[in-house]
A and B are shown apart, each in its own frame.
Chain A
Amino acid sequence: MILLPCPWCGPRNVSEFRYVGEPRRRPDVATTTPQQWRAYLYNHTNAAGWVREQWFHRTGCRQYFGAERHTITDEVRRTWRPEQAPAGAEPLLGVTDRAATTEAGPDAGGDVL
């Protein structure tokens, strides 16, 4: 299990967090087309390498934050609070990925083995 350095709490087991996803800009609801809207909902770049993504410290400080993670090695080289976003990084976006928000919580599923 990898460690994720929460910008508020420090390094914690990744099971404390919810992976929110790639930052995605919400289309203007007045003008959006089904194609744009569903790209916003479902299309992911899913790159192999360094990516910028968002995490939520679900069983900790309950803050959303940004991270740079290598999707092959799982190395996390930086995380940031919204006001510390590095140049070129999207502000925090992408609240809509609710894949992991179940009642059971992070401890119900995988254990160490």
Chain B
Amino acid sequence: MSLTAVAAPMRLDAQPGEVIERGRPLSFRWNGAPRVGFAGDTIASALAASGVRVFSRSFKYHRPRGLLSASYHDPGCMLQVDDEPNVRGAHRRLRDGMDVASQNTWPSLRFDVRAANQLVGRFIGAGFYYKTFMKPQVLLPAYQSVLKRFSAGGRTSPDDPRDYYDKRYAHPDVVVAGAGPAGITAALAAAESGAQVLLVEEEHDLGGHLRWGGTEDLARLHQLRDLIAAQPAIEVMTNSVVVGRYDGNWLAIVQRELPHACERLVKARAKVLVVAAGLIERPYVFQGNDVPGVMLSTAVRRLINLHAVRPGHRAVVLSANPEGDAAAEDLARIGVEVRRVLDVRRGEDLVAARGGGGVRSVQCHDGARIDCDLVVTAAGWTAPTSLLNMAGDKPVYVAEAARFLPSRLPDDVLPTGGIAGTGDTDALIAHARATGAEAARRAAGRGEAVRIPALPAGRHPEHFIGRTHGMVDFSEDVSSKDLLSAAREGYDSVELVKRYTTVTMGPVQGKLETVNAVAVLSRATGRTIGETGTTVWRPPYAPVTLGALAGRILEPVRYSPMQRWHEAHGATPLVAGAWIRPDRYGDPAQEVRNVRERVGIIDVTPLGKLDLRGPDVPRLLNLLYVNKWSKLDVGRVRYGVMCAEDGVVLDDGVTGRLGEDRYLMSTTSSGAATVWEWVEGWLQTERPDWQVHVIPMTTGYASMNVAGPRSRELLQRVTEGVDLDPEAFPYMHVREGRVAGVDDCFMWRIGFTGELSYEIHAPAMYGLHVWETLLDVGDDLGIKPFGVEAQRIMRLEKGHAIVGQDTDGLTQAFGAGIDWAIKLDKDDFAGKPELVWQRDRDDYFVLVGLQPEDGSVVPPEASQIVEGRNVIVGRVTSSRMSPTLGRSICLGFVAPHLRAAGTRVTVQLPDGRRITARVTEQHAHVDPEGVRMRG
């Protein structure tokens, strides 16, 4: 006897359709002990071959659980594999060296102390979460910490290595969900009719139930696979699942275990979706139906025919359909002693299965008690209609067929195969062939409609629940008794019962148990199954990892051309919308002092820049800004504030006139996209007759601000073609010329920092060159770079408000304290009526400068300004320690009665302390007359 045979006592001799590769043995560990299997085994089949019957403990009662369906949806074998929890053991293929462990067991799979829960089962029945652990409320945290140790789930660690997850878009004509004989045939027919097809199969191989069938089925399987392989218009995705269908056939498909990625989320826009999801065998509800060794007929046939595993030695089979009969034949063929076949169609039935860690005997309807170690049930089929539900279908129950059938679907969703009706393989294939051709026709939007033959609703016994109580939801440990007691308590609607008992809410999400739950409830309430209805199936069809949803990140990030320099010089990055900016290079206070005393340079590339051309630009500016623009001479720049139509401040910035019909508008960095859209909106909709051409130039120019008393001296060394003399190039003017050898640079004399400063906009491709040249030639002048934080300190010293920081979504323009800029004598501008009314009301909070009396205290931004015990009369919007003044300075909103200069206001700090601050004469704390920047 070979070593493998010793280690795998349940392994059969070669089976005709087996998928294991006996020449490739694999070794792995199960709860620490070495085991062997073959390539092609699932983890569960390898374990079953080695004699394992108990794979896990159940969620609530900690009952031992074995294989039930031996498929992806098997609730009994969710396993921990290496660092990955909740692996579907009956789906995941075995790999060499895997470390597999059972979950939800303590201290071990065999001795589980929590199985004592079974003994107190009557206390933790339906709704026990809501009843038992709610009172007294003060104990709820204690309950939670205890319950957590009893709940299911594996373990993850923050130290686990990060895996790569991928994303992809696809635009197929037809997506076929499910690659059984019908799905394959529909895909082939669609492709032959000229469609590009994506065929998605949840399992590792194509073929559905043909794979575990007899000789005829296997012959057909190979034929279909050959046709698929020869058809270039079909892309095949195996081990992949369509998890959601959304409006317009927008499909979420998850591909698993790719060579280069853990998972990939495919967002597919299909013209037509063909749903060929097949049928899922449902368990039978009777006493002991979850004892290890009780399994579905499909599980038995998978184990025998795909993995050559003997499911047991002595079997009793309950069969309501030909598939159950076939399972009994398979068992007999491999030498299992089939001790009795109970034929539901002849009124025979199974009453109970007995055993602890494994089934030992069954009791039959006629009182017979039969010893066995395997009980097989073939009680019927559930149509997994999730994707149809997501397309708006409400499947209808057909009692003669004991199943739900699709009812109404949009034109771009077609069901075929077992989900659409009953028939032998030939009938299903004929239906699928017509469906595939019709799908291709609808995708193309032309051609003559293909007649799809109707699939009958074949007869099948309604055999859901036996004469004893048993498990309905194997994942959530909900029994038929629990459902009955919920119904007795008044939860008689299926949606209520679901939420009260958590039936269908576990990892299997109703695929095995929904129809049984409905059957139990309908019996309890005296209604039919059709009247009771099912719960709504929502996305996702199968669990999706957060990794698949999150990665790969496709969000663009923006860097200025000088980013490399910033990184090389130790800049701390600041995320500002889509931009990454230097926040500081060292100490921001030192950066401020260097600008105030010598000269500094900052990268302001993210500033929004719009090139505006045409004769109507002045009209546009007059309409968008609250101030006047008709008389802006060539070479001048002006500061402006924009409001939306509700009078709320939208953005601000400087616009310069570069030529007769040419202007450059700058916006805030964060407002660049909004303003561009705002400008286009006015020009395309309200003022389509105006001649203005808009070109976004934000990333076309590298922008830098050179600020400080020595900035003119620095620029004189590198500028050609521009007279920098203050008489020739005064404050609030713009000039075009050559800087550092680069033509077509613009220089604006403006002063956000409050210093003599020049904002240089150089063609982006030369940005780094200009930047490095300025730092190089300014070395002896003491030039140093400064970051966003230093600029924020300096603008606060100058009292310049930042839209969105010092204003919010309710700040109308007068509230921003910029009365001087608002020209209500203009005929029209955006938001004008609201500002007229705001001025007349005179009841608004207004932005003022504030200085704490104790200059060493810097109140945190958003600190409230209060009156009396707890009346809020304002808030601090910006607050910093000023390196220039050596004291704290702020901007803030105050109520109307507090806005006069000199008023003392009370600021409440987060720790509850209160300080006094004085309202200043103007926003500016440093050089309010603007002598420095005009110099």
Contacts and interface: CB of A to CB of B under 8 A. Distances in A.
Task: Give chain B's interface secondary structure class.
Answer: mixed
29 contacts: A1-B247, A18-B677, A27-B833, A29-B833, A40-B645, A54-B685, A56-B680, A56-B681, A62-B680, A64-B680, A64-B681, A82-B688, A91-B685, A91-B688, A92-B684, A95-B682, A95-B685, A96-B644, A96-B646, A101-B674, A103-B671, A103-B672, A103-B674, A104-B577, A107-B555, A112-B265, A113-B539, A113-B544, A113-B549
Interface string A42-74: 000000000000101010001110000000001
B686 A26 contact: yes
B105 to A, nearest CB: 32
A56 B674 CA distance: 13
A37 interface: yes
Given A101-B673, A104-B577, A113-B540, A29 B828 contact: yes
A103 B578 contact: yes
Contact of B674 (A54, A95, A98, A108): A98
A77 B762 CA distance: 47
A29 B832 contact: yes
A111 B684 contact: no
Nearest to A94: B685
Nearest to A100: B677
A13 to B, nearest CB: 8
Nearest to B539: A113
A34 interface: yes
A1 B250 contact: yes
B786 to A, nearest CB: 24
Contacts of A2: 247-248
Given A3-B269, A29-B833, A98-B678, A92 B685 contact: yes
Interface in A78-113: 82, 91-96, 98, 101-105, 107-108, 111-113
A103 B684 CA distance: 21
Contacts of B247: 1-2, 74
A108 B554 CA distance: 10
Contacts of B246: 1, 112
Contacts of B111: none
B179 interface: no
Contacts of A54: 685
Given A27-B833, A29-B827, 18 more contacts: A1-B246, A3-B248, A3-B269, A34-B833, A37-B833, A54-B685, A56-B677, A64-B680, A92-B684, A92-B688, A93-B685, A101-B674, A102-B674, A103-B672, A104-B577, A112-B246, A113-B252, A113-B544
B130 interface: no
A111 B674 contact: no
Interface in B642-670: 644-646, 650, 670
Interface band, chain A: 35 or more
A31 B827 CA distance: 11
A41 interface: yes
B208 interface: no
B199 to A, nearest CB: 20
Interface string B238-260: 00000110111010100000000
B837 interface: yes
Contacts of A102: 674
A31 B265 CA distance: 56
B35 interface: no
A54 B555 CA distance: 27
Contacts of B549: 111, 113
A111 B680 CA distance: 27
B681 A95 contact: yes
B644 A63 contact: no
A11 to B, nearest CB: 9
Nearest to A76: B248
Nearest to B544: A113
B481 interface: no
B835 to A, nearest CB: 10
A113 B540 CA distance: 8
A112 B250 CA distance: 8
A37 B831 CA distance: 10
B684 A64 contact: yes
B267 interface: yes
A30 B252 contact: no
B323 interface: no
A107 B677 CA distance: 17
A109 B872 CA distance: 33
A27 B828 CA distance: 11
Contacts of B646: 41, 96
A27 B645 CA distance: 11
Contacts of B827: 29-30
A82 B555 contact: no
Interface string A18-34: 10100000110110101
Contacts of A95: 678, 681-682, 685-686
B743 interface: no
Interface string B850-888: 000000000000000000000000000000000000000
B674 to A, nearest CB: 5
B684 to A, nearest CB: 5
Given A26-B686, A96-B644, A112-B267, A107 B554 contact: yes
A23 to B, nearest CB: 9
Contact of A113 (B244, B671, B674): B244
A40 to B, nearest CB: 8
Interface in B766-810: none
B834 interface: yes
Which among A82, A91, A111 has the greatest number of chain B C-beta atoms within 10 A? Answer: A111
Contacts of A112: 244, 246, 250, 252, 265, 267
A32 B833 contact: yes
A62 B709 CA distance: 43
Contacts of A29: 827-828, 832-833
A88 B670 CA distance: 39
Nearest to B830: A96
A113 B548 CA distance: 11
Contact of A108 (B267, B555, B645, B830): B555
B458 to A, nearest CB: 34
A92 B267 CA distance: 33
